[in-house]
Amino acid sequence: MYDKLARLLTGTTNALAAALLLAAVLSNAVAIVFRYGVGQPLIWTEEVQRYLMIWVAFLGSAACLGRGEHMAVDLAGELLPRAVRRILRLVLLLLTGVFCGVLVWKGIPLALGNRSQLSPATRIPMSYPYLAVGVGGLLMLCAAALRLAQDWLDGSRPRDPPQ
């Protein structure tokens, strides 16, 4: 069950991040055409690209965390006994969850508090770009919780011997 939920979460966030990345690339292409082809640069393209890339980073982080592809330093991890590695992995997932919880706790109020502030070029409420912190944190928290549950259950089950 946890595996299906994790795949759904990572697949959805991965697809959203890919779509937003494509939108940022298209925005860049439009900016190039208008600046060098038409001779009339557009003022909104750089701002849109920046906000899209913020969302891409947070959504991509959730997808990476869900797949276990997030950055890690595993210099001496293989030298530790298997039980210690498992405990260390669980503790690190717990700490990741706490950090993501702080992102949600501080990010959502920050976004909602900036509803009246408008971006300079596109004139959209700044709550939309800032909401990436809270939403991304929530998605990463869900991914960390699913991985934690999955690792906890996998560690409690006896493993089949290799064939």
**Rounded CA Rg of the chain:** 20
Q: Exposed/middle/buried for 114, CB within 10 Å: 0-12, 13-18, 19+?
A: middle
- Global confidence as pTM: 0.85
Q: CA–CA separation, 38 vs 27, rounded Å?
A: 15
Q: Give CA 70 to chain center in angstroms.
A: 10
For tokens 């596109």, what's the residue? 122
The pLDDT tens digits along the chain (163 residues) read 667 888 888 889 999 999 999 999 999 999 999 999 999 999 999 999 999 999 999 999 999 998 888 777 677 777 888 888 888 889 989 999 999 999 999 999 999 999 999 999 999 999 999 999 999 999 999 999 999 988 888 765 444 334 4
